[in-house]
Amino acid sequence: MNDVDLIAALARLGIDKENYRIITLLPLIQVAWADGRVQRAEKDIILRKAVQYQIPDSGRKILDQLLQSKPPPEYFEQARAALLALVNRQGSGMEVDTQVTIIEMCENVARSAGGLFGVFDTVDERERVVIREVAEAMLVGVNINWNAVFYSGAPLDQKSG
């Protein structure tokens, strides 16, 4: 994706030069919606990340809208394509560590909304599917043992040998 295509793709998502950092939060929103509704704990995590990432008011308005009304699947597909284009750009600053961080944040969103004393696995299967889609797309070419990540609770940075 060249610069013109990337700018156009971001614009279709409502993202511009001022609020471009929200692109990293869109996978979290997709996970939050995976089970059909955004729960308060999920929303709280996403909004805390928005503060941490210094998302301006224009970006907060977009986030609020996305958390209020579920976007169509195409929106998330376009967002992932734009995010991947940014990740694959040389000098984008989005190295594997950043990609893994996004995936870990997705998992935190999924785990935030349930469970008894944080003891039981609270990740809904629909959330797990979305996290896996995001992870596989984000970490193309990175050697990760997906079964260990998704079925034994291993940390996401565990590499398979």
Residue 123 lies in a domain: yes
Between 142 and 102, name the one with better pLDDT.
102
Asked whether the predicted pLDDT for residue 150 surpasses 50, the reply is no
Residue 159 lies in a domain: no
What is the domain range of residue 138?
3-151
What average pLDDT does the segment 102-131 reach? 76
pLDDT band with cut points at 50, 70 and 90 for residue 158 = very low
Residue 156 lies in a domain: no
Q: What is the pLDDT of residue 92?
A: 53
What is the rounded distance in angstroms from the CA atom of residue 49 to the CA atom of residue 27? 12
| Helix, strand, coil percent values for the chain (each to nearest 5) | 65, 0, 35
Residue 30 lies in a domain: yes
Residue 19 lies in a domain: yes
Asked whether the predicted pLDDT for residue 11 surpasses 80, the reply is yes
Cβ atoms of 86 and 92 within 8 Å: the answer is yes
Residue 53 lies in a domain: yes
| Number of domains comprising the chain | 1
What is the rounded distance in angstroms from the CA atom of residue 56 to the CA atom of residue 77? 24
**144: β partners:** 159
Could you give phi then psi for residue 98, rounded to 5 degrees?
-65, -40
Tokens of 44: 């709280």
What average pLDDT does the segment 86-106 reach? 70
Residue 81 neighbours by CB under 8 Å, 6+ apart: 1, 9
Q: What is the pLDDT of residue 85?
A: 81
pLDDT single digits (tens) 118-146: 555 577 788 888 888 888 877 654 444 44
Residue 65 lies in a domain: yes
Q: What is the pLDDT of residue 91?
A: 56
What average pLDDT does the segment 30-36 reach? 92
Tokens of 111: 């785990």
Q: What is the pLDDT of residue 84?
A: 81
Residue 161 lies in a domain: no
State what percent of residues in the chain have pLDDT above 70.
Answer: 75
